[in-house]
Structure 1
Amino acid sequence: MGDQRNSPSGAPEQAGLRGRTAELAAIRTALEQTRAGMGGALVISGEPGIGKSALLDGATKYADGMRVLRTAGVQPERDLGYATMYRLLRPLLGGIADLPSAQADALDRVFGRPGAGPTPDRFLIALATLTLLSDAAQAQPLLCLIDDAHWADQPSLDALSFASRRLRAEPIALFFATRLPEGRPGPLAGLPELPLTGLDAASARRLLREHTGGSLPASDEELLLRTAAGNPLALRELPASVPPGGPTGEPLPLVDRLQEAFLAQLLPLSGPARELLLLAAVDGSGWLHILRRATATHLDAPVDLDSALDELRGLLSVSSLTVEFRHPLVRSAVFHSASVDRRRAAHLALAAALEHEPAERDRRAWHLGRATDDPDETVAAELERAADRQTHRGGPAAAAAALARAAQLTPPGPDRARRLVAAATASWYGGDAARAEERLALAERIDTRTPDTATRITMLRALIELRTGDAANSLRLLRPVVRQASGQDPTTAVEVLKLFLEASYHAGDANAWGDVAEAIEGMPLLGEHPDLVLLRVIQAGVRVRTGAPAALAESDLGLIEQWTDPEGLCWGAAACWYLGDKRRYRRLYRKALERAHSVGAIGTVTWVLVHVVRDEMTTGRVHTAAGFAEDGKRHAAETGQPNLACWFDSALAVLAALAGRGEQARDLADQVLQVAVRRNLVAAAVQARQALGLVALAEGHGEQALGHLLDTPDHLLHPAFVLGNVPDAVEAAHRMGRLELVAKPVGRFVRWAEATGSPELRALAARCQALTGTEEPEPAFRRALELHPVDEQPVDRARTQLLYGEYLRRARRRGDARRLLRAALESFEQLGMDVWADRARDELRATGETPTSPTRDTLTTLTPQELRIARAAAEGATNREIATQLFVSPRTIDYHLRKIFQKTGITSRVELILLTLPRAEQR
């Protein structure tokens, strides 16, 4: 490694990296862990010239036995989707063919390789990137270095940061070098960071003297040391190029001083060399043949490329195919020192050079967009076409910048607003909420908007509110649009109504159902187009909710079951839930989840998981439901949906309460309420209060329980709230002897249960009637047990058995009570509901029976995620298939399976099947 010095930490100091002993030690430790199979990411941050690139160079010296991939973000390519990732992964592209087909197709599309198919979801692309890296690392540990990450394109950074968060069980290290963030948190936020500051005084002085030979007068040396402030690049470049104190003696920002230093090196260059240097700075691709074509035929004064390159050997690194700048600040100095007219001429020359390159149509459009500054519909239309291609190839994030530039170049009129809204929408779905807000605000200020554009503005504004802001505001924005839905085309009407219904659920606004009913009843709904079928699905659900008779035609149900679109399947499932068709509901949401996983639609996965968690909760799989809820919470955070993450936290609070973890349930519920009340997230708030009520109920505090369960405004009549809280509130009121407090909610619940015809809801209604005395208790309890599907609602069935057993014990029918209480106890133990099991044991003791010691299911030793993996493996899924479901790598699944085998004491998947079989049969 050349000149080295040993440090107390054991890491040698490399030549050219004076004063970076601690940083090199951190890098060496990270690489040692990576070689041991525990990879991760490291973000090396600091100002320009501070030594980030040098530390990446230093990392390669410690990468013994590792395969090193390296690239850098390039400022002119910042708006070209997946450009940085393509350069990094180019040596691995041969492995794409071995990926799961959906992942392989996604990478083929974003890298412009042959193939057709739907627009890949950005998270499918990210998962494919992770799998590609993981597969490559099986042969040799990987070190991936991404320099100048602040200039990398957003889609590349999104995909690589996604992979970076999933390397715990991988021999892969991703090191990013980036400038300090400027106010806007980027995709690298939250990753382990290694911030660089200036060198210490001794190291800075030593470095300065190495580069000057110690020839500077002491006063000049001190001035340079103060000016450089420990910046290594400044210590090397300033002595030869900038007089101490600057040309006028006025202080300058360090980056400006460095750019002046590089500009001084340009003064002796010939005119042709300067033209070539500007073309290279504007180009970004670095391809020599493009520069050759541009310099030979498209400039006013053709340039002899080879002669110009000879002049530029000190500023450019030249190979047989490419040219690169020695330092990014050289590129920046060249670019910003040129006049606007010269830069436009360079862009125009490069666009002309790419005219006959079919694979470079998007780059050509990008250059055309920067070659003009005046409104130009021809160029704007070319940029919009490029954005459309990028959308279909790489998703919305890749298209957002092209659409924004197209809007800037659009002559005044409605098309400018339309393109701005398209840019805002692409930014939002691409994960850049801040730019979406900026572009949407610009569109809102344009007067010449068409009605369709105005609708799109309102819908996007409402969507952003629903995901990140106030759910009630989302409803307020959408209500006027819903009232106009009957006059819209079916596709737009479906979008509006779905968004409105989702907002009504989270905001808990019962009046929303009436608005939807009024809008949808006036629509012509005949036909088999999926949008028309979905409108009929929504209509049926709304009719049930408003108490009108409703059913879906068997032909419509058959059409829904043939769908492959995960979002449509999810809405079909929701309608079946409202209609009381639980089996079809379950079948449809499972298909929706499978399809969403297969196409990597993590945003849709997150929404489907709401149904999954709710269903797993009602069917008693508390531990599994917690695993799905944790997944949903993580996905919601990754997709920029904090409000949905709040809902999953509320579900986790309920699950903790059901499992008897009272303190955890209280903590989660309190956290949820702090957010939910402020943002009008009524669904999450009601669920959090349900958790608090369940804890109080399980602990025997009926008054507290009733306070939490009835702490919901009277107008909140969403079925999910009724289903969640009324039966629990009735039990609490029964324990208190205050049944008059629940008379009105019970009436609503019973009417809804009868309207749906659902056995599960009718069973709960019968239990409520038994407890409130609105019917004879014993016949009502018996009817409830007859209606409870054995394999559908084990939690509710066991609670009914417990309550019925308590009633019989108080009636001194101890023998009859014991039979019910034993069954309840067995169910609670199998479900891992310890607090409820204790209550059943206490009741059994009160009958004179001594219950057996509690049993513990081996599966309860597993974390929720481990349990999900165990079940999937037992059902025959391969590691790759499970990895796709959880958005991790196959190696991570292997890591978790080893832990599962260790915890449970088994050694094979056959034993895993036997271990999980009893629970699997409950399905």
Structure 2
Amino acid sequence: MLYGRDAERAAIDGLLDQVAGGAGGCLVLRGEPGIGKTALLGYAAEAATGMFVLRTAGVEPESDLGYATLHRLLRPLFDRIDTLPGPQSLALGVVFGRASGPAPDRFLVALATLSLLSEAAAERPVLCLVDDAHWADAPTVAALAFVARRLADEPVAMLVAARGDEGRPVDTAGLIDLPVVGLDPAAAEALLADQHKQLSAGERAELLRATAGNPLAIRELPAGGVRAGDPVPLAAGLQRAFLDRVRRLDADAQHFLLLAAADGEGKLDTIGRAFPTAAAELADLASSDGQTLTFEHPLVRSAVYYGASPAERRAAHRSLAEVLDSPADADRRAWHLGRAADAADETIAAELELSAVRAAARAGSAAAAAAWERAAELSETPADRARRYAGAAARRWEGGDSAGARWALDRAERLVPTDRDVRLDITGLRALMELRTGVPSDALALLLPALPDVPRTDRERSQWLLMLFGEASFHANAAKAWSEIAEIGELLADDTDDALLSRLFRGVCRIREGADPGLLPSDLASLRGISDPVKLTWAGGMTWGLGDRDLGRQLRRQAVSQARAAGAAGVLAWALGFVVADELSRGHFGSAEAYAEEGYQLAVETGQPNSACDHQGSLALVAALTGRQERTRQLTDELLAQAGARGLAGTAAAARRALALLELAAGRPAAALEHVDVHGGLAHPGMLLYAVPELVEAAVRSGQPERALEPYERYRGWAQASESAELRATAARCAALLQTGENAEQSYQLALKWHAQQESPLESARTELLFGEFLRRERRRSQARPHLQAAEEIFHQLGAVVWAGRAAEELRATGATVARRGAGPVLELTPQERRIVEAVREGASNREIAAQLFLSPRTVDYHLRKVFQKAGITSRAELVHLEF
């Protein structure tokens, strides 16, 4: 029976009513031990009439065993796993030990969980109850948080109970946090009167004061006694009260409970084999269903386990390890052996390392890291200890635990590893972490001295470090470092098949200096055979830099498709940034914005703040090109502050380019020039060439062409060496701006010729506009009009309203009559709706779209219905012709 709790019950009832109406959500009940969180979960289970109720709980001894808590939650749905899309079904099968296969990405597991709950909810609403979430394993916590944030359109409710100051923190960002505090005085009095009728008035008053309305304390503490004036006991006092009850049991019962507390799963079969003498009386401290022993409260388990001496705890773990002798129990055996050891033991360390490898193969990054860390602690030599800490760090990073990864890396480095491979792996991981979450210049400082130490035959490591360096040097705007690494790139590139990425890197270095890239005839064709999304993204970026924009776009699209198929949300967040750039260059502002919004959300969820900044930079560019001045300035203000704090030169360059485009469209070239001419000749080549077209236009239009001459010459050399039609077109336009008379006219015509060979409508329209302006100033108004009309039409179609207005004004200045375009009916779609429409156009089913966008099929269907309503259409076929 619940006493009081009117507000909490109302919140739970509201959530259940919401789910009955088809919309889901999550409540996080947070409070101290014994405060009533479990009772509220019980209330929800009783109130969930007609719902499918799933329950699980975190268990402290299992907090390092990947997906253990999720396994218990989804066990009643295991017969539905095979109905999921193949990759999702396999992902759950692998992590639950029901299937063999490569380790799935943690976000694919989370997506599969969402899909499984959605499938069950198609029959009747689902209620998920998660108790003691602070003791749940990290992969489960991450998966449930992922699911909880995507329940708005699902008849699925989730209630999560957690302590706020113990165990693993539960991230409630985007969820409803419901603090659970002590009972109000009337409810506390009623509970006390019901539980302890024999107490005097003074004893009742003292107990109420000491317990501060904690229901479990009110029930349990009188057995242990409360002295007048004692501080509020809560967890420690409750644990002592439970321990007093344990101590009153006989020795066999106490040992039986200790084995159960150490075991974690509470399997009576395992405990019985470790201690054949059954305990007859457990004093209501635990209960059994014949197969599993369940403690009355987590504090009982803590009291039993930590009330025993260290030697007794180690002996309990050793006893359990001895009976876990089947292959299926190998990981639990290794874990118990690790807990049983009290000194270095290479045999146990090696067994733990094997367990870590198995856990990693099941995508149990957190479990693998914990096993590697314990193996490191038990290692007999510093070399093995360093190697194992490095392995733990890699798994922590894979699991999204950057703080844990840094902790393990620190310990590995303090051991001064002598093994070159271990040193390089530590360096590469730390550099990658700095690149994604820290300061790119710090990544450079790590990579530059390490690269010459990589054996030329170690292609995998050398190319990985080289690619990381390429990214870091751009984002840090490190011109000098780029020059140094270009020499190393020359050394690493040879004619062997496995040096393909190194050759591309060398080619980019050369071509940016106007030289021949030196690729083999088969190199570009070979890129299509790459299947790894990270390598595909790198290859696409380098191919783009070499001038083959079409192939670069294809490779980057392929990378995104591969990342989606694998459910690799972290890689997807990063790779999407390149696809956004491709969409911007093609004038597809709506899809660019949708991809950038998706990438930003994924970057935040996967803990990649630098990638999130990159996507915000793309959103600023879209806002600038579509004339949303306030939005542009808001985003760029935020970005420049973050970029300055982290040294993100690439992000800062995107923000400044957005501001420059805004100023150029509005006819303020001097202001635009100040935004793009900030690096001088000391910039990284990629940074220097990033906004040259804007720099040239702003410099010429503001009467300061000399400020653009040196960057233009480098840009022209890059365009000529690359043989890219897109680059040659913009280079010819830049030349026209810097020229006069007949030379300028010829350059504009050449630019339009190159534009016609490749899809770049925005740049084509800008060239048409500038050519028309040139001809009008030459008093050749009739010749100017077709170019200005073409520019105005393209800008209008793209939604570049400020640019379209500028072209219209120029057109009027020629004497032409320009009809003022009304705003017309505009189909306003959210970024999510845009992505879904595009996926439908590509022929994807709702289930396939859901897998691509980390949604459930029901959510996709909901968004499609919204699109149909907004557009006034009734079929998917009509989406093909939809304009937005």
Q: Does 1:280 align with 2:249?
A: no
For residues 334-384 of structure 1, what are the alpha-carbon distances to aligned partners after superposition, in whole Å with 9 as ceiling and x for unaligned? 0011111111111111111111x2211111110011011200000011000
Write the distance in 2 (CA, Å) between the matches of 1:189 and 1:384: 35
Moved more, 182-191 or 745-754: 182-191
- Give me the CA root mean square deviation: 1.8
Partner of 1:225: 208
For residues 56-103 of structure 1, what are the alpha-carbon distances to aligned partners after superposition, in whole Å with 9 as ceiling and x for unaligned? 111123212211000100111111000000000001111111111111
Choose which of 365, 369, 391 in structure 1 pairs with 2:338. 369
Choose which of 376, 384, 392 in structure 2 pairs with 1:415. 384
SS of residue paired to 1:314: coil
Write the distance in 2 (CA, Å) between the matches of 1:871 and 1:718: 35
Q: Does 1:169 align with 2:156?
A: no
Q: Does 1:49 align with 2:34?
A: yes
Q: Does 1:425 align with 2:394?
A: yes
Moved more, 555-564 or 399-408: 555-564
Moved more, 358-367 or 506-515: 506-515
For residues 593-648 of structure 1, what are the alpha-carbon distances to aligned partners after superposition, in whole Å with 9 as ceiling and x for unaligned? 11111011112212221210111011100111011111111111111110111111
Amino acid at match of 1:338: A
Choose which of 138, 147, 163 in structure 1 pairs with 2:131. 147
For residues 260-299 of structure 1, what are the alpha-carbon distances to aligned partners after superposition, in whole Å with 9 as ceiling and x for unaligned? 1111212331111111110100001121211121112xxx
Alignment of 1:753-768 (within 5 A): 753-768=719-734
Amino acid at match of 1:615: D
Choose which of 445, 448, 473 in structure 1 pairs with 2:414. 445
Moved more, 171-180 or 461-470: 461-470
Offset at residue 17 of structure 1 (A)? 2.1
Write the distance in 2 (CA, Å) between the matches of 1:750 and 1:30: 62
Write the distance in 1 (CA, Å) between the matches of 2:880 and 2:489: 48
Choose which of 622, 626, 642 in structure 2 pairs with 1:655. 622
Does the 8 Å contact 1:486/1:520 carry over to 2?
A: no
- C-alpha change, 1:743 and 1:542, in structure 2 (3 Å) is closer
Alignment of 1:621-660 (within 5 A): 621-660=588-627
Partner of 1:507: 476
Amino acid at match of 1:61: E
Write the distance in 2 (CA, Å) between the matches of 1:496 and 1:724: 24
Q: Does 1:120 align with 2:86?
A: no
Offset at residue 852 of structure 1 (A)? 2.9
Choose which of 336, 346, 352 in structure 1 pairs with 2:306. 336
| Paired residue total | 883
Choose which of 323, 326, 339 in structure 1 pairs with 2:296. 326
Does the 8 Å contact 2:530/2:536 carry over to 1?
A: yes
Moved more, 656-665 or 435-444: 435-444
Q: Does 1:80 align with 2:65?
A: yes
Partner of 2:527: 560
Offset at residue 539 of structure 1 (A)? 2.4
Choose which of 692, 697, 711 in structure 2 pairs with 1:745. 711
Does the 8 Å contact 1:82/1:394 carry over to 2?
A: no
Q: Does 1:92 align with 2:59?
A: no
Amino acid at match of 1:34: V
Offset at residue 840 of structure 1 (A)? 1.4
Does the 8 Å contact 2:623/2:629 carry over to 1?
A: yes
Does the 8 Å contact 1:455/1:481 carry over to 2?
A: yes
Alignment of 1:21-60 (within 5 A): 21-60=6-45
Write the distance in 2 (CA, Å) between the matches of 1:915 and 1:189: 35
Amino acid at match of 1:22: A
Does the 8 Å contact 1:623/1:860 carry over to 2?
A: no
Choose which of 474, 485, 494 in structure 1 pairs with 2:454. 485
Write the distance in 2 (CA, Å) between the matches of 1:282 and 1:713: 65
SS of residue paired to 1:677: helix
Amino acid at match of 2:785: R
- C-alpha change, 1:681 and 1:182, in structure 2 (3 Å) is farther
Choose which of 218, 224, 245 in structure 2 pairs with 1:242. 224
For residues 421-453 of structure 1, what are the alpha-carbon distances to aligned partners after superposition, in whole Å with 9 as ceiling and x for unaligned? 111111111111111121111222113542222
Write the distance in 2 (CA, Å) between the matches of 1:406 and 1:659: 56
Moved more, 647-656 or 190-199: 190-199
Choose which of 185, 189, 208 in structure 2 pairs with 1:201. 185
- C-alpha change, 1:448 and 1:910, in structure 2 (3 Å) is closer
Partner of 1:270: 250
- C-alpha change, 1:184 and 1:462, in structure 2 (3 Å) is farther
- C-alpha change, 1:462 and 1:841, in structure 2 (3 Å) is same
Does the 8 Å contact 2:135/2:168 carry over to 1?
A: no
SS of residue paired to 2:55: strand
Q: Does 1:156 align with 2:125?
A: no
- C-alpha change, 1:454 and 1:255, in structure 2 (3 Å) is same
Partner of 1:591: 558
Write the distance in 1 (CA, Å) between the matches of 2:307 and 2:167: 26
Q: Does 1:619 align with 2:586?
A: yes
Does the 8 Å contact 2:627/2:662 carry over to 1?
A: yes
Offset at residue 105 of structure 1 (A)? 1.0
For residues 629-669 of structure 1, what are the alpha-carbon distances to aligned partners after superposition, in whole Å with 9 as ceiling and x for unaligned? 11111111111110111111111111100011011001100
Write the distance in 2 (CA, Å) between the matches of 1:447 and 1:737: 58
Offset at residue 767 of structure 1 (A)? 0.7
Offset at residue 472 of structure 1 (A)? 0.9
Choose which of 297, 320, 328 in structure 2 pairs with 1:350. 320
Choose which of 53, 67, 72 in structure 2 pairs with 1:68. 53
Does the 8 Å contact 2:448/2:485 carry over to 1?
A: no
Offset at residue 585 of structure 1 (A)? 1.1
Does the 8 Å contact 2:35/2:182 carry over to 1?
A: yes
Q: Does 1:135 align with 2:104?
A: no
Partner of 2:854: 887
Write the distance in 1 (CA, Å) between the matches of 2:612 and 2:492: 35
Write the distance in 2 (CA, Å) between the matches of 1:524 and 1:748: 24
Write the distance in 1 (CA, Å) between the matches of 2:560 and 2:114: 21
Q: Does 1:903 align with 2:883?
A: no
Amino acid at match of 1:220: E
Partner of 1:7: none
Offset at residue 455 of structure 1 (A)? 2.0
Choose which of 788, 807, 811 in structure 1 pairs with 2:755. 788
Does the 8 Å contact 1:66/1:140 carry over to 2?
A: yes
- C-alpha change, 1:369 and 1:866, in structure 2 (3 Å) is same
SS of residue paired to 1:139: coil
Write the distance in 1 (CA, Å) between the matches of 2:134 and 2:364: 21
Write the distance in 2 (CA, Å) between the matches of 1:156 and 1:702: 54
Partner of 2:94: 109
For residues 745-785 of structure 1, what are the alpha-carbon distances to aligned partners after superposition, in whole Å with 9 as ceiling and x for unaligned? 21221121112111111111111111111782111110010
Write the distance in 1 (CA, Å) between the matches of 2:734 and 2:745: 12
Does the 8 Å contact 1:482/1:500 carry over to 2?
A: no
Write the distance in 2 (CA, Å) between the matches of 1:839 and 1:98: 56
Choose which of 661, 685, 700 in structure 1 pairs with 2:667. 700
Partner of 1:549: 516
SS of residue paired to 2:861: helix
Write the distance in 1 (CA, Å) between the matches of 2:736 and 2:495: 45
Write the distance in 1 (CA, Å) between the matches of 2:356 and 2:437: 26
TM-score (normalised: structure 2):
0.97
Amino acid at match of 1:223: E
The gaps in structure 1 that reach 5 residues or longer are 1-15, 297-302
Offset at residue 568 of structure 1 (A)? 1.7
